[in-house]
Amino acid sequence: MTRLSRRTVLRGLGTGIALPLLEAMEPVTPHALAAGVSSKTKQPVRLAFLYVPNGIHMPSWTPPEEGAFTALPETLQPLESMRGDFSILTGLGQKKANANGDGPGDHARAMATFLTGAQAKKTDGADIQVGISVDQIAAASLGRKTRFPSLELGADLGKTSGSCDSGYSCVYSSTISWKSDTQPLPKENDPRLIFERLFENGRPGESAAARAKRDRFSRSILDFALENAKSVERSLGAADRRKLDEYLSSVREVEQRIGAASRKEHKAPHLVDKPDGIPETYQDHLQLLADLLVLAFQTDSTSVATLVFANEGSGRSYPFIDVPEGHHDLSHHGNDPAKHAKLAKINRFHIERLAHLLARLKSTPEGDSNLLDNSMIVYGGCIGDGNRHDHENLPILLAGHGGGALSPGRHVVYEPKTPLMNLFGSLLQAAGAKTEEYPQVSGRLERI
Amino acid sequence: MSRCSSFSASILLTVTLSVTAGASPFEAHIRPLLQKYCFDCHEGDQAEGGITLEAYREADAKTIDRAAWQKVLRQLEGRAMPPADAEQPTPDDLQSMISWLKSEALQPDCSQGERPGRVTIRRLNREEYNNTVCDLLHVSVRPADDFPSDDIGFGFDTIGDVLTLPPVLLERYIDAADAVARAAIASTDIDVASTYTLPGGVLSSNGDLDREFNVDSDGDYALRVSVWGDQAGSEPPLMTIAVDGKQKRKLKVPNERSAPEEHEIRIRLPTGKHTVRITFHNDFYDAKAEKKKDRNLHVGGVTIVGPIGVLPTELPESHIRFFTRPIPVDADIHDQTDIFTKLIRPLASRAFRRRATEDEIEGLSLVFFGARDRGETVERATQMALAAMLVSPSFVFRIEASPQPGTTRSLDDFEIASRLSYFLWSSMPDNDLFRAAVRGELRSPEQVVTQARRMLRDPKAVALARNFGGQWLGLRGLDEIDPDPELFPNFDTDLRSAIRQETEIFFEHVVREDRSILEFLDADYTFVNERLARHYEIAGITGDVFQKVSLDTRRRGGLLGHASILTVTSNPTRTSPVKRGKWILENLFAAPPPEPPANVPELADDKSGQLTGTLRQRMEQHRSDPACATCHKLMDPIGFGLENYDAIGAWRTSDGDTEIDASGELPDGRGFRGPSELRSVLAQRKDEFRRCFIEKMLTYGLGRGLEYYDACAVERIAAVSAAADDRISVVIAEIVTSPAFRQIESGGGKQ
């Protein structure tokens, strides 16, 4: 290109860039959008999926009787004060978490299948594949109304070396959110970074003008990135393109976020301090992640989230509740009553963290109700009895009122092996998410 | 199609037919044996372990079924299959099957040469990102520490297929690029000036809040004071802000806690100590009021921003290197951009690790131009262009153009340079390497080896120990391990870090001194500091610095005596002989035991109830179940041999009241007593170890899992290595000159 023509290009485009095109659209806030589609008072429904690994000691989990709760079983007792806000759903299964000819690897499959209902492709790295997860189905339609289509939180990061489960890539046993069949969404575990992402866009104490400037800066960076992507794409093969597509779809998502809303609204409610980093103790860590999830819902930053208490197959020890053994090791309890008791302790500890989360949601007013009334929280795992790697009788707790769509406070028993995906189908429907394109959630579950 | 090719095809057909007609050795001799001993369980849909031997065709043995046949061989050689309760093959039958597998089925067909395979484009992983921005722009920030963790495949975080790019990572790329660009190029803008925040406080009665601060250079500064009030009475809180005793601002604070306001004062300050004083003037308290009884002033914080409008006296190295000529601020922006274009070209080429294209230079110049056009300073506009460069796919991905479908091409010099540098340094090519690429000096194997040897001598080669060694040997897993503090009160942060360093330093030593890779198995030395020496009961070592020590080989030697490996393969409360055995088979001998059948509990219950006795006795009971025994007799004895090391790798002779029995017998009948004899027995398996090491390193270096056809490269490299005393530089030289490392084939079609 000659100097002259390049200059012309620069002149032409340069003025274009100088115009603050997108600012003109800023008055359209997510609230305004949401209010436009639903009635003025109707609050958006939030969806969260919480995962605990290695199965549950089911005898201490399952209420003895069907119907309205009587006495809560031992593991669920921390939820006593919220007995009207959750149900236990018994008899649900995820049959695609079974081997189905793929041999061992139940932990990897459990995590990968939990929200996808799909059979994980057995591979250590090449061509990982499972299916889009329900949270991402929800995010695809609900996520447009919020700054973040979804959040993926967890106490554990992915494993950093070695192998995980019987020939399955570690990504399966550390990921429940899948943006596509082939794109896992990693979890964020550092409360400071999560907070900054939600509320500060990475720069504390920044003035509004400086922030607007930075948005322009981000946009010009992304313009170049897109152009560059186009030029490199030509030389790529199919698998390479898939990687570049991940890049491009991320660019588009970030671009929308920059353009979508004014920055004033993204401040954290005052009195909420920014976390320093990852807390020393696991208890505090889980608590902080739960708090951030509530905060994200409360500020309408997102309405879809996943929170993984520990990776599937986790060997984490719980010495602070007198369980110094590794969780996974214990879960193969061989019917040893002492191990049963320790497993139940771990289960109960996790439920206490859930109780904290639910209490926070409930104490956050929203309109004339509260956040828990407008949420649907699925808590559970994709293994029933850890000793047997049972995927057919899963521990599933459903909390919240879903804006009136749910009738909690009961133990509901379904036919054995009723697909868990049917529950997800019903929840997506209740949340107003589009599910037509997703055959794996075609079913519906009654009596929730 | 020409006559010639159709002619040769028909000949080929005839040959194939005649082989089938004559019944191959497999059909004639082997298949009947498999039928006799194996098909009972390994047939049909319900085949045990998913191994359906009856379905395997001889023609596929060298390709797609290779991995399955390798498993079969391991089972037969280990006398693990058929299980003890099934009919056992006669020695002759067993020998026939083994020799067919070894000399026929598993002999890779390398007649067509080595296939290079296909590598998916790879984004930089966290280590690589940090190292690359550091080498590119000489900045010390490590922005990738805040990136989401990288997923691993085949045990490594260098696998293109597994490294994904979710939105949160792209956001972090933007923040990181901004941070790196600011660190690399100094700027005068207020919004990139350094900030320092002093804590605030509450003034609940009339009085002052004083905060002292220092500034390092004379200049203009902005003081930002964030305030709100508890509102009470008829007027809002009244406050003044004074700097060094001079009142700068007097104002009312009508806003509440929910909406703090920031007030900015611009001020010129000389170098040195200063004081900012915030004074509350109109306290109010009405005990009788129901609400709004108390007026207070809250100061959220005081932020000092600056100096503004001046470049710091000490400019960052990359700033000086970048502005080899000044960009005159009062020249026409187009002329400024012309200069910028010249300045950015070499940097962009280094960043993209190849010659930047005209389009790319143009695009980056456009970012600069646009920013200048909006009134940004030259430096800020430069930062923006640098940031754009760092977020672009050409930087975050290592891109190798795919050849035409069905073809193979040699990588160009720049691609080779990147493969070398990311393999050996986990970073971008340095000047030497980049220059060699520019001159076209990375074409011949000799040239590539010369570079590789130079690179191994460079301090940056420590990345190979940290990243390859750290993952191969599971050292990174040490962060996730939490030995029970009650049982192992000695396990503190110092020890955790020392045991990791021992193995890293050992690996580094092997690289630096170009030792034999077999020393990983049986070295009679290691590296300890005072803390680790205490752990190992080695006398006379003081200080934090690691030193090389000779070992009492009755107690320790080779990797199997490293506390790091012994700890990552233990449970929090006890050792796990199974995990240790499995880990060693998988990671040192590439002979992973078969996977357990579904739903077999660990240390299982059975009808007789609880297993009893010591750990070892319980495991032996477990192995009395033939379904378990086949695999456990491969793993457990190795683990038993290491029982003299506790769950954090300390030497022990008893476990509680039980004396340690560290004897065992491998399935092939070789016995041993204790770790030292076990080590000698395992050290004899050097062929397997060598192959395993090469496979792991090839996987890491290529960034893909190995395919059946890679067996040709592995076998060849192993042969060369064995003939050259197994020096590690020879293994590396063979890897970097192999077709897999220097060529690429198209994607698509059957892998």
**What confidence score (pLDDT) does residue B262 get?**
85
Cα gap A219→A203, rounded to integer Å = 17
Match 């695009």 to its residue by tokens. Answer: B363
B362 to chain A: closest CA residue: A6
* Helices vs strands, H then E, count in chain B: 29, 19
B471 to chain A: closest CA residue: A161
Stated as kind and residue range, the H or E segment containing A152 is strand A151-154
Mutate to test the interface with B, among A219, A240, A276 (most CBs of B within 10 A): A240
**What confidence score (pLDDT) does residue B23 get?**
67
Task: Report whether pLDDT(B62) > 80.
Answer: no
Q: Is the dihedral of CA B153, B154, B157, B161 positive or negative?
A: negative
Match 């086949």 to its residue by tokens. Answer: B630
Classify residue B249 as exposed, middle or buried by CB count within 10 Å of its CB (0-12, 13-18, 19+).
Answer: middle
Q: How confident is the model at residue A35 (pLDDT cuts 50, 70, 90)?
A: very low
**What confidence score (pLDDT) does residue A117 get?**
97
Bond before B307 cis per omega within 30 degrees = yes
Collect all residues with Cβ–Cβ distance below 8 Å to B150 and sequence separation of at least 6: A158, A160, B125, B126, B157, B163
Beta strands in A52-131 (DSSP E): 67-68, 86-93
Closest-CA distance, B414 to chain A, in angstroms, reads: 16
B177–A contact, CB cutoff 8 A? yes
Nearest Cβ partner of B599 from A174, A335, A388? A388
pLDDT, average across residues B230-238 = 91
Tell me whether strands B525-528 and B547-550 are parallel, antiparallel or unpaired: antiparallel
The secondary structure of A302-323 as a DSSP string is: -SEEEEESS-TT---EEGGGTE
Q: How confident is the model at residue A286 (pLDDT cuts 50, 70, 90)?
A: very high
Helices (H), B459-562: 462-463, 470-472, 493-512, 519-522, 530-536
Determine whether the interchain pair B334/A210 forms a contact, defined as Cβ–Cβ distance below 8 Å.
no
Tokens of residue B500, six digits: 């990791």
> Coil, helix or strand for A140?
helix
pLDDT, average across residues B533-546 = 96
Look up residue B557 and give its DSSP letter. -
Determine whether the interchain pair A247/B170 forms a contact, defined as Cβ–Cβ distance below 8 Å.
yes
Match 């153009």 to its residue by tokens. Answer: B401
Determine whether the interchain pair A7/B118 forms a contact, defined as Cβ–Cβ distance below 8 Å.
no
B622 in Cβ contact with B604 (< 8 Å): yes
Closest-CA distance, A185 to chain B, in angstroms, reads: 6
pLDDT, average across residues B357-377 = 95
Q: Is the dihedral of CA B43, B47, B48, B50 positive or negative?
A: positive
B233–A contact, CB cutoff 8 A? no
B123 to chain A: closest CA residue: A243
Nearest Cβ partner of A10 from B366, B484, B604? B366
Please give the model's pTM, rounded to 2 decimal places: 0.85
**What confidence score (pLDDT) does residue A7 get?**
35
Nearest Cβ partner of A161 from B366, B391, B477? B477
Cα gap B730→B477, rounded to integer Å = 29
B605–A contact, CB cutoff 8 A? yes
Task: Report whether pLDDT(B157) > 60.
Answer: yes
**What confidence score (pLDDT) does residue A17 get?**
30
Task: Report whether pLDDT(B313) > 90.
Answer: no
Nearest Cβ partner of B149 from A152, A157, A221? A157
Closest-CA distance, A106 to chain B, in angstroms, reads: 8
CA B477 to chain centre: 11
A273 to chain B: closest CA residue: B300
For Cα atoms A27, A30, A34, give the angle at the middle one, nearest 5 degrees. 120
**What confidence score (pLDDT) does residue B600 get?**
54
pLDDT, average across residues A210-222 = 83
Cα gap A132→A440, rounded to integer Å = 9
Cα gap B477→A314, rounded to integer Å = 13
Could you read off the pLDDT of A409-435 as tens digits, one per residue?
Answer: 999 999 999 999 999 999 999 999 999
Phi and psi torsions of B409, nearest 5°: -135, 160
**What confidence score (pLDDT) does residue B46 get?**
67
Determine whether the interchain pair B746/A237 forms a contact, defined as Cβ–Cβ distance below 8 Å.
yes
Q: Is the dihedral of CA A313, A317, A320, A324 positive or negative?
A: positive
B469 to chain A: closest CA residue: A161
Mutate to test the interface with B, among A221, A242, A301 (most CBs of B within 10 A): A221
Determine whether the interchain pair B747/A326 forms a contact, defined as Cβ–Cβ distance below 8 Å.
no
Express the helix, strand and coil content of chain B in percent, nearest 5 each.
45, 15, 40
Mutate to test the interface with A, among B118, B145, B171 (most CBs of A within 10 A): B171
Determine whether the interchain pair B362/A6 forms a contact, defined as Cβ–Cβ distance below 8 Å.
yes
Task: Report whether pLDDT(B551) > 80.
Answer: yes
A160 in Cβ contact with B471 (< 8 Å): yes
Ranges A189-203, B190-204, B706-720: which has the least confidence: A189-203
Cα gap A294→B716, rounded to integer Å = 58
Closest-CA distance, A201 to chain B, in angstroms, reads: 9
CA distances for B45 relative to A103, A423, B37, B503, angstroms: 12, 32, 18, 45
B733 in Cβ contact with B444 (< 8 Å): no
Q: Which residues in chain B (684-713) have CB-CB distances under 8 A to chain A?
A: 704-705
Q: How confident is the model at residue A8 (pLDDT cuts 50, 70, 90)?
A: very low
Determine whether the interchain pair A124/B153 forms a contact, defined as Cβ–Cβ distance below 8 Å.
yes
Closest-CA distance, B407 to chain A, in angstroms, reads: 12
Ranges A158-167, B146-155, B212-221: which has the least confidence: A158-167
Whole-number average pLDDT of chain B:
88
ipTM: 0.86
pLDDT, average across residues B142-169 = 93
Largest Cα–Cα distance in chain B?
Answer: 112
Could you read off the pLDDT of B556-603 as tens digits, one per residue?
Answer: 999 999 999 999 999 999 999 999 999 999 999 988 877 665 555 454
